Protein backbone atom coordinates (compact mmCIF):
# COMPACT_ATOMS: atom_id res chain seq x y z
CA UNK A 1 0.00 0.00 0.00
CA UNK A 2 1.03 3.56 -0.61
CA UNK A 3 1.04 6.35 1.99
CA UNK A 4 -1.14 9.30 0.97
CA UNK A 5 0.06 12.58 2.51
CA UNK A 6 -1.28 16.11 2.25
CA UNK A 7 0.64 18.10 -0.35
CA UNK A 8 0.46 21.19 1.88
CA UNK A 9 1.17 20.06 5.48
CA UNK A 10 2.39 16.45 4.88
CA UNK A 11 -0.17 14.94 7.30
CA UNK A 12 -0.75 11.24 6.66
CA UNK A 13 -4.24 11.01 5.17
CA UNK A 14 -4.43 7.33 4.22
CA UNK A 15 -2.62 4.15 3.29
CA UNK A 16 -4.27 2.81 0.16
CA UNK A 17 -4.16 1.38 -3.33
CA UNK A 18 -6.15 3.54 -5.72
CA UNK A 19 -6.77 4.57 -9.32
CA UNK A 20 -8.03 8.05 -8.53
CA UNK A 21 -8.48 9.78 -5.19
CA UNK A 22 -9.69 13.16 -3.97
CA UNK A 23 -9.35 13.71 -0.23
CA UNK A 24 -9.60 16.79 1.99
CA UNK A 25 -7.00 17.21 4.72
CA UNK A 26 -8.68 17.60 8.13
CA UNK A 27 -5.74 19.65 9.44
CA UNK A 28 -5.25 22.37 6.79
CA UNK A 29 -8.39 21.85 4.62
CA UNK A 30 -6.40 21.40 1.40
CA UNK A 31 -8.09 19.27 -1.27
CA UNK A 32 -5.62 16.64 -2.49
CA UNK A 33 -6.30 15.07 -5.90
CA UNK A 34 -4.22 12.05 -6.90
CA UNK A 35 -4.15 9.62 -9.80
CA UNK A 36 -2.26 6.37 -9.90
CA UNK A 37 0.55 5.95 -12.39
CA UNK A 38 -0.08 3.48 -15.21
CA UNK A 39 0.54 -0.04 -13.97
CA UNK A 40 3.32 -2.06 -15.56
CA UNK A 41 1.98 -4.11 -18.46
CA UNK A 42 1.07 -7.65 -17.54
CA UNK A 43 3.52 -10.18 -18.90
CA UNK A 44 2.24 -13.33 -20.52
CA UNK A 45 4.14 -16.57 -20.12
CA UNK A 46 5.37 -18.45 -23.14
CA UNK A 47 3.46 -21.67 -23.80
CA UNK A 48 5.01 -24.86 -22.46
CA UNK A 49 6.83 -26.84 -25.14
CA UNK A 50 5.31 -30.12 -23.87
CA UNK A 51 1.80 -28.76 -24.14
CA UNK A 52 2.33 -27.62 -27.74
CA UNK A 53 3.39 -31.12 -28.81
CA UNK A 54 0.53 -32.85 -26.98
CA UNK A 55 -2.22 -30.80 -28.63
CA UNK A 56 -4.16 -32.46 -31.42
CA UNK A 57 -5.55 -30.29 -34.19
CA UNK A 58 -8.67 -31.36 -36.08
CA UNK A 59 -9.81 -29.78 -39.29
CA UNK A 60 -13.49 -29.01 -39.59
CA UNK A 61 -15.21 -29.17 -42.95
CA UNK A 62 -17.96 -26.51 -43.00
CA UNK A 63 -19.44 -27.48 -46.40
- List, for residues 9-36, the tens digit of each pLDDT value: 999 999 998 899 999 999 999 999 999 8
Number of Cβ within 10 Å of residue 13's Cβ equals 20
Q: What is the three-class DSSP state of 53?
A: helix
DSSP H stretches of helix in 11-48: none
Q: Running DSSP on this structure, what letter comes out for residue 19?
A: S
Rounded distance between C-alpha atoms, residue 3 and residue 11, angstroms: 10
**What is this structure's pTM?**
0.55
Where is pLDDT greater, at 6 or 41?
6
Amino acid sequence: MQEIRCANCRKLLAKAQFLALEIKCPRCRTINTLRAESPAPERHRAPDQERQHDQTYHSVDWR
